[in-house]
Amino acid sequence: MSTLEEQIQRLTDIEDIKQLKFCYAGYCDQEYDEDGIASCFAEDGVWDGGEKFGVYNGREAIREFFSGSDGIMKFAMHYTTNPLIAIDGDTATGQWHLWQPMVLKESAQPIWLMAQYNDQFVRQDNKWLIKNLALTVKSFTPHDTEFGV
């Protein structure tokens, strides 16, 4: 049985990781703010978008990838739901569902993106960072009417 202090620390860690994930999503929704997004990752962090979006190793590679994203997307809104977070000392895992309405810039094609995040986190200097973000696309479906900006 854990002490009250251990329970409070676990709940605090879970909330800090949720806030980190929400910040990441917020930077994505701010026209893919590459500096903000990169700041969410450990220096050796990995952003893994699978076959659809590619894999980027290290904070600088992640920053570079996202620096071109605003040229691809006209609009994107990230909704992360159903978090499952497990804490193990200074590491953690997390899983979220992603629902993302988006509009491609070049074609103005609206898309419904549904995916799952499977993430690993690390606490460094008393701050949680993303160690590995793995996005598994479940659906990338065109929509017939434009939405968003």
**Contact present, 119 and 94 (Cβ < 8 Å):** yes
Token reading at 120: 């690993």
- Residue 72, pLDDT score: 77
- Residue 19, pLDDT score: 98
Architecture of the CATH domain 4-142: Roll (3.10)
Which bin fits 105, alpha (ψ -120 to 50), beta or left (φ > 0)? alpha
Angle at 111 (CA atoms; ends 105, 112), nearest 5 degrees? 145
- Residue 146, pLDDT score: 65
Distance, in Å, from the CA atom of 53 to the CA atom of 115, rounded to the nearest integer, reads 12
Angle at 37 (CA atoms; ends 131, 146), nearest 5 degrees? 125
Task: Spell out the domain ranges in the chain.
Answer: 4-142
pLDDT by residue for the chain (149 residues), tens only, comes to 789 999 999 999 999 999 999 999 999 999 899 999 999 999 999 999 999 889 999 999 999 999 987 677 888 999 999 999 999 999 999 999 999 999 888 888 899 999 999 999 999 999 999 999 999 999 999 888 766 65
